[in-house]
Amino acid sequence: MKIFAKHRKFILAIYDIVFINCSFLMALFFRFYTDIPTLYIEHYKRAFLPITAVYLLIFYFFNLYSSLWSLASIDEFMIGGVSNLLANSIILIASSFFDDRLPFSVIILAGVFIIIFTLGFRMLFRIYRRATLMFRKIDKSGFKRVLVVGAGMAGLSIVKEIYTHPEMKYEAIGFIDDDKNKIGKIIRNIRVMGDRNSIKDMVDRYAIDLIIIAIPSLPVKERKELVKLCNETRCKTKIIPGVYELLDNTVSLSKMRNVDVKDLLGREPIKLDNKGISDYITGKTVLVTGGGGSIGSELCRQIVNYKPKELIILDIYENNAYDLQNELIRKYPSLNLKVLIASVRDKRRLEKVFDEYRPHVVFHAAAHKHVPLMEFNPEEAIKNNVMGTLNTAECADKYGANRFVLISTDKAVNPTNVMGASKRMCEMVIQAIDAKSKTEFVAVRFGNVLGSNGSVIPLFKKQIEEGGPVTVTHKEITRFFMLIPEAAQLVLQAGAFAKGGEIFVLDMGSPVKIYDLAEHLIRLSGFEPNVDIKIEVTGLRPGEKLYEELLMDEEGLQNTDHDKIFIGKPGNFDLSVVKSQIFAIMDLIKFGKNDLLVRKIQEVVPTYKTTEGNDITNKEMTEELSVFQEIVMNNSGS
């Protein structure tokens, strides 16, 4: 076999020469039996060299000497058939121009024999390889017993790979498929055991170690339900990505991944109007504040696909910015990239940045976002979120940016915490400044982003790794979730719809119970909730509410050209009034009047109501705030 492997092309050509000529002799024999006319023998002696040459050249052209026949598929055999038919046709046509030729019936019959011999010989390599695999003795101790969900082409590919690669230490035990015509049938010596409702029973009955969901074309909602069924077993589950994730449409074990929480959300892939996005990003200078954060960094990754003239990443935290810089340089070496370490609180620094780079588009993602932390540090929420937005927005207006997109949050709707109230004030700032500016200022509001820094998923995963307990603040608490890439894509799309002053509201799908999410994540990790890993309910944190809203009552809702993006009615705010209110809050911070700060924020954001137990409508506190404001006004007047 080693000699054959070394001289494979030459040996195959020798065999083909023998097969071609034997086929013609057999055809003469079958046509005339033992009484072959001497004339045709002479004709063949003169023609066998050009006939052989035609076949060899056609075979060479169709790569019949380069294919690895031990792994050949139906495609290779179809190509072999086409090459044979083409060679036979050329010989038939050429022979028709000569009087001293072989009969057409002999040429056609010889062509049939050549197909049988040449392809049959090559098939022997596949048969030999299959036989060696079938009869080899493999010690399957330590192999993972696998249940494959989906008896289609993808499932077949997975079983084939398991079968041919024992070093992976997988053993295919059975298929699961909802097609009733397949149930009970045997495919590649593996039985289709039942439909999806049989999964739990089959896992228990056959001691399954691993479930592989191999249906790339499965709709997202159905996949979500299927994942839940698999998740109810204590079995490890992996999944072949959907067709939109399989860039080359090939299915293999190397492409399967662990089932993740995102599979349980059932989010449909986003369809984007790429032309609309390109129109305002391609060839433009784009600035992303907070560019090293979860949303900011994903925005940068998405933006580079639209070929901006220059991408500027601004962030106060150098580590994230540095990591993102290295990633983008590695993936996009021709990208014109600038990474600036700066704070949006620093107006002078921002002025220099805008004056030097003159960004056409600004995505403002810089913000403090952690609710409990901001509840105990309200002054920082105001300085970073509100003043940072005002500083950045005024610079965008002054230096002629075309578009400014604020990243907002569902917590800005009827806020019950300082963080949400501060983001509502940010929305007020951009709606107020839009009324007087040539720059199109808009906000994009969405809920929690799955897997972002500080979100609940990384916290749960860490708690599970530590053996628990997993902490949930309330058994009935719900949140809206979307994926980081999805959020970034919709932000870019919303920017394309901007006319100025809108608050774009993203469709977050159905709210998810955090307690259910904890249970699913524990099961995905191979444990049983409240048996192996305890779930502990700790009580609502300061500023936290059970249910988030995406739209304020007074805003209304309008459709856009995208089915996942809606527009809230623009607010009517006067910039001078909004700024004076913000500066009044900053005065409280400046003079250390943090006890009055929350009361003043409520004056600015009337929909802000603190959670039960914090009375900020206290009459004495209101009077104290009025006295302080009067003192500040008198001092500023003198």
Strands 210-213 and 236-239: parallel
Mind giving me the DSSP string for 210-266? Answer: EEEE--TT--HHHHHHHHHHHHTSSSEEEEPPPTTT-TT----GGG-EE--HHHHHT
Mind giving me the DSSP string for 26-69? Answer: HHHHHHHTT---HHHHHHHHHHHHHHHHHHHHHHHHTTTTTS-G
How far is the C-alpha of 463 from the C-alpha of 473, rounded, in Å? 14
Q: Is the dihedral of CA 233, 239, 243, 244 positive or negative?
A: positive
Residues 452 and 294 sit within 8 Å (Cβ to Cβ): yes
184: left (phi over 0), alpha (psi -120 to 50) or beta: left
How far is the C-alpha of 548 from the C-alpha of 411, rounded, in Å? 7
Residue 285 one-letter amino acid: T
Each residue of 383-413: b (16+ CB within 10 Å) or e? bbbbbbbbbbbbbbbebebbbbbbbbbbbbb
Could you give the C-alpha distances from 437 to 395, 400, 498, in angstroms and in order? Answer: 11, 9, 14
Each residue of 492-527: b (16+ CB within 10 Å) or e? bbbbbbbebbbbbbbebeeebebbebbbbbbbbeeb
Identify the active-site residue in 236, 262, 369, 411: 411
Could you give the C-alpha distances from 222 to 84, 240, 354, in angstroms and in order? Answer: 46, 14, 48
Instruction: Give the number of other CB atoms < 10 A from CB of residue 289.
Output: 29
3-class state of residue 403 by DSSP = strand
411 is catalytic: yes
How far is the C-alpha of 108 from the C-alpha of 287, rounded, in Å? 71
Tokens of 598: 């929350």
3-class state of residue 632 by DSSP = helix
Burial class (CB in 10 A: 0-12, 13-18, 19+), 248: exposed
3-class state of residue 360 by DSSP = coil
Tokens of 518: 């904890």
Residues 244 and 269 sit within 8 Å (Cβ to Cβ): yes
Residue from 399, 417, 337 nearest 362 by CA: 399
Residues 210 and 235 sit within 8 Å (Cβ to Cβ): yes
Strands 448-450 and 535-537: unpaired
Helix (H) or strand (E) holding 479: strand 478-479
> Omega of the bond prior to 469 within 30 degrees of 0, cis?
yes
- Helices (DSSP H) in 62-103: which residue ranges? 74-95
Mind giving me the DSSP string for 161-211? Answer: HHHH-GGG-EEEEEEE-S-TTTTT-EETTEEEEE-GGGHHHHHHHTT--EE
Residues 611 and 543 sit within 8 Å (Cβ to Cβ): yes
Catalytic positions are 411
